[in-house]
Amino acid sequence: MTAKITFDEAMYDKLISAMNELETSLERKATTTDDMTLDADFTVLPGEPRFEAAVKLLNKGREFGGSVEQQNESLRQAIVKFRNALVAAKGVFKETNDLATYDAAGFIAQYPDFNVGGGAGVSPVPMPMK
C-alpha cells in the first residue's frame, strides 16, 4: 500500500513567505550597507588615484562590485520567478487529494517555472515513505 501525499497549506504558505523574505533581503540588504554599496561604482580607494597599480586596484574593485550586483540581481529574479510559480500553482495543490498520483509532466507543462533545474521527462527517484 502506498502512502497518500496530501497538501499542507500552512507549510506551503511558509515557503512562499520565506521566498518573499529572501527576495526582500537580496533587494535591500545583500549589497548595501550604511557604509558602502557593492555595485559598479564600488571603490576601494578614496579619490582618483594616479599610480598605475592603484588605478588597477580601483578598476578591479569596480569590476568586482558590478559582478556582485549582477549576480545578486540574477538570483533575486530567479527567486521572484519561483515564488510567483508557487503562488500561481497553489490551487492545484489544494484541489488534488493525492499528490503522489498527480501527473508531474502535465504540471511542469502548466507551470514551467517550477522546472528551473530541468529534468522534465526524467523518471523520479523513488523516495522512501515515512
Q: In this predicted model, what pLDDT tens digit does every residue of 22-78 receive, in sequence order? A: 999 988 888 888 888 888 988 887 888 889 999 999 999 999 999 999 999 999 999
Q: Could you tell me if 58 and 121 are in contact, meaning their C-beta atoms sit under 8 angstroms apart?
A: no
For residue range 102-120, what is the model confidence (pLDDT) as tens digits?
A: 888 888 888 888 776 655 4
Q: What is the pTM of this model?
A: 0.71
Q: Angle at the Cα of 111 (from 103 to 6), degrees rounded to 5?
A: 50
DSSP 3-state of 32:
strand
b/e per residue 40-53 (b: at least 16 CB within 10 A): eebeeeeeeeeeee
